[in-house]
């Protein structure tokens, strides 16, 4: 009929679907497994977080999915790995579209926890489903215990009270019942809420009182969401907070310095202060500089708030210079960890100041391994004579390969400043690399990876110079694909 228009045909919206997955840790007997139900539209980055919570992992390390010959992870962690696809841009129902599909999820490339995943069932659903655990057996292993073999050894040590390492390992591992599996606890973790047995009768931080005392009532909803967000702060919420500008700086500083908010049983399970530090850094809120420096002095190097502040302060640029210099030169500098932290911040400010350079030179001369990377970051080639002298003065330790990390740090610094190694220095470096690659038994680790430890990726560089910042920002938002 003239003038009539044909109705355009469009694709129908894909029906919601529920995936039932069986996830089993490899090389563990008796097996540790979980049976989970998830929505088919979740991204692999979101599925990574589901697996983290289901097994009790802490999301402290890198991850990778291997599906039908393809690898998916966080490409920001290795810009040179062109074969690694972005897990936040791949949905489960696309990469595993049929029942009986099998694939692997690998977590922590040091401990190498391989999870075998099988799609047991795909069924239609009238609505989007939140992740749920429907069955499982045995507790997940603790982080950083050395993988399946290290975990087996850990259990042997814990079971033998006469073992010389029993007390140390018991202190590190805490109460551990390898046979325990609590379905309700796993589902509370998947929902991002504390289990009823973990909620303090008298919470240290009173959320309603804090919100009620805010002078601007319209800030209350966004700050409530921030405090209750837990480990994952949605990008949209972060953007809304940053857009509030100076109005929200004071309340964020209050959240940052409140010691009660760092408790794992506080609202948000202790993450509100960490989010506050990161947001203040993004906002370049100079009013937070003094409180951040004071908090650095009050926290240890392995505290997550401490790390968040070290990442935030350099973003504020030269405004940090004088407060940090005052603290470095103050009488309280018996605190060598604080001094090291502040020197790291000063090196990253982008400010050229002879006082900074002098402090960095002296620190590198006193402790070359800790100090040379700061000189590289500062970027003044005038440091090259000192770095070359340090390279020549130290000898390779054949019996202690870990002690040779210094040469990797020095080579990295010399190269970064535009220098080159002599033939003798190159020979030293090659010897250290060969020693580092020699196999060694992995012991039960008494502590987590520190910012000055060699990076988990095997580069030989310190964690803080390699993957620390990318690990810190590797928590994907659940809103990425919605």
Q: Which two tokens stand for residue 223?
A: 């700050």
Give the span between the Cα atoms of 214 and 212, in whole angstroms.
6
Res. 118: pLDDT tops 70: yes
Q: How confident is the model at residue 139 (pLDDT cuts 50, 70, 90)?
A: very high
Which of these ranges, 2-16, 86-100, 103-117, has the smallest mean pLDDT? 2-16
- The per-residue pLDDT for range 284-339, each reduced to its tens digit, is 999 999 999 999 888 877 788 899 999 999 999 999 999 999 988 774 456 678 88
Report pLDDT for 176: 84
Res. 343: pLDDT tops 60: yes
* R_g of the chain computed on alpha carbons: 25
Section 149-154 average pLDDT: 93
Q: Which two tokens stand for residue 439?
A: 């196999």
DSSP bridge pairs for 91: 43
Report pLDDT for 390: 93
Give the span between the Cα atoms of 133 and 128, in whole angstroms.
16
Res. 264: pLDDT tops 90: no
Section 375-399 average pLDDT: 91
What is the rounded average pLDDT for all residues in the chain? Answer: 83
Identify which has the larger pLDDT, 85 or 398.
85
Give the span between the Cα atoms of 96 and 32, in whole angstroms.
23
pTM of the predicted model as reported, rounded to 2 decimal places: 0.55
Report pLDDT for 474: 42
Identify which has the larger pLDDT, 431 or 104.
104
- The per-residue pLDDT for range 209-244, each reduced to its tens digit, is 888 888 888 898 889 889 888 888 888 889 999 999
Q: How confident is the model at residue 184 (pLDDT cuts 50, 70, 90)?
A: confident
Res. 446: pLDDT tops 60: no
Res. 66: pLDDT tops 80: yes
Which one, of 183, 192, 26, 41, lies nearest residue 118 by Cα?
26
Report pLDDT for 169: 86
Report pLDDT for 463: 56
Give the span between the Cα atoms of 209 and 115, in whole angstroms.
44
Phi-psi region of 227 (alpha: psi -120 to 50; beta: other; left: phi over 0): alpha
Q: Is 44 in contact with 72 (CB distance < 8 Å)?
A: yes
Q: Is 139 in contact with 179 (CB distance < 8 Å)?
A: yes
Section 63-82 average pLDDT: 86
Q: Which two tokens stand for residue 252?
A: 């964020």
Res. 466: pLDDT tops 70: no
Helix (H, G, I), strand (E, B) or coil at 65: strand
Phi-psi region of 245 (alpha: psi -120 to 50; beta: other; left: phi over 0): left
Report pLDDT for 234: 83
Report pLDDT for 202: 47
Domain(s) labelled CATH 3.10.290.30 in the chain stretch across: 17-198
Domain 17-198: CATH class, spelled out: alpha beta
Share of the chain above pLDDT 90, in %: 52
Res. 175: pLDDT tops 90: no
- The per-residue pLDDT for range 8-36, each reduced to its tens digit, is 333 344 567 999 999 999 999 999 999 99
Give the span between the Cα atoms of 118 and 64, in whole angstroms.
16
Q: How confident is the model at residue 6 (pLDDT cuts 50, 70, 90)?
A: very low
Report pLDDT for 197: 54
Output helix, strand, coil percentages for the chain, rounded to the nearest 5: 50, 10, 40
Sign of CA dihedral 257, 467, 481, 14: negative
Report pLDDT for 473: 44
Give the span between the Cα atoms of 122 and 18, in whole angstroms.
6
Q: Which two tokens stand for residue 402?
A: 């870990």
Res. 445: pLDDT tops 60: no
Share of the chain above pLDDT 70, in %: 82
Which one, of 51, 164, 30, lies nearest residue 106 by Cα?
51
Report pLDDT for 5: 40
Q: What angle do CA 469, 475, 481 make, to 5 degrees?
A: 130
Report pLDDT for 434: 79
* Exposure on the CB side of residue 320, measured as CA atoms within 13 A: 32
């Amino acid at each position: 009929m003239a003038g009539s228009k044909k109705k355009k045909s469009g694709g129908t919206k894909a029906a919601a679907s529920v995936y039932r997955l069986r996830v089993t840790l490899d090389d563990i007997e008796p097996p540790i497994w979980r049976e989970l139900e998830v929505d088919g539209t979740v991204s692999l980055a979101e599925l990574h977080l589901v697996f983290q919570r289901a097994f009790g992992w802490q999301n402290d390390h890198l991850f990778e999915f291997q599906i039908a010959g393809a690898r998916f992870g966080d490409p920001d962690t290795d810009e040179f790995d062109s074969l690694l696809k972005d897990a936040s841009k791949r949905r489960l129902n696309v990469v595993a579209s049929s029942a009986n599909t099998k694939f692997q999820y690998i977590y922590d490339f040091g401990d190498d926890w391989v999870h075998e995943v099988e799609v047991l069932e795909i069924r239609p659903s009238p609505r989007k489903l939140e992740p749920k655990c429907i069955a499982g057996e045995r507790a997940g292993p603790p982080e950083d215990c050395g993988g399946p073999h290290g975990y087996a050894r850990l259990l042997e040590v814990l079971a033998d009270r006469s073992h010389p390492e029993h007390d140390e390992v018991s202190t590190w591992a805490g109460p551990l019942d390898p046979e325990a599996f609590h379905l309700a606890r796993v589902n509370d973790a998947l929902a991002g809420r504390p289990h009823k047995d973990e909620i303090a009768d008298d919470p240290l931080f009173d959320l309603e009182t804090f919100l009620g005392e805010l002078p601007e009532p319209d800030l209350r909803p966004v700050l409530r969401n921030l405090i209750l967000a837990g480990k994952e702060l949605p990008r949209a919420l972060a953007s809304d907070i940053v857009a509030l500008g100076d109005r929200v700086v004071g309340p964020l500083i209050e959240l940052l310095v409140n010691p009660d908010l760092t408790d794992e049983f506080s609202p948000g399970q202790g993450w509100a202060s960490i989010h506050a530090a990161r947001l203040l850094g993004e906002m370049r809120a100079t009013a937070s500089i003094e409180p951040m420096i004071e908090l650095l002095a009050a926290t240890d190097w392995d505290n997550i708030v401490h790390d968040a502040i070290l990442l935030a302060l350099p973003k504020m640029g030269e405004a940090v210079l004088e407060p940090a210099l005052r603290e470095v030169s103050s009488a309280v500098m018996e605190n060598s960890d604080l001094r090291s932290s502040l020197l790291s911040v000063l090196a990253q400010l982008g400010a050229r100041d002879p006082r900074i350079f002098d402090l960095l030179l002296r620190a590198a001369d006193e402790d070359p391994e800790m100090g040379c990377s700061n000189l590289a970051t500062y970027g003044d080639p005038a440091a090259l004579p000192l770095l070359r002298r340090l390279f020549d003065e130290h000898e390779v330790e054949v019996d202690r390969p870990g002690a040779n990390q210094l040469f990797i740090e020095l080579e990295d610094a010399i190269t970064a400043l535009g220098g080159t190694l002599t033939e003798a220095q190159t020979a030293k470096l090659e010897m250290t690399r060969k020693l580092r690659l020699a196999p060694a038994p992995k012991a039960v680790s008494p502590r987590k990876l520190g910012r000055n430890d060699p990076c988990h990726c095997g580069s030989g560089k310190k964690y803080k110079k390699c993957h620390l910042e990318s690990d810190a920002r590797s928590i994907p938002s659940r809103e990425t694909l919605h």
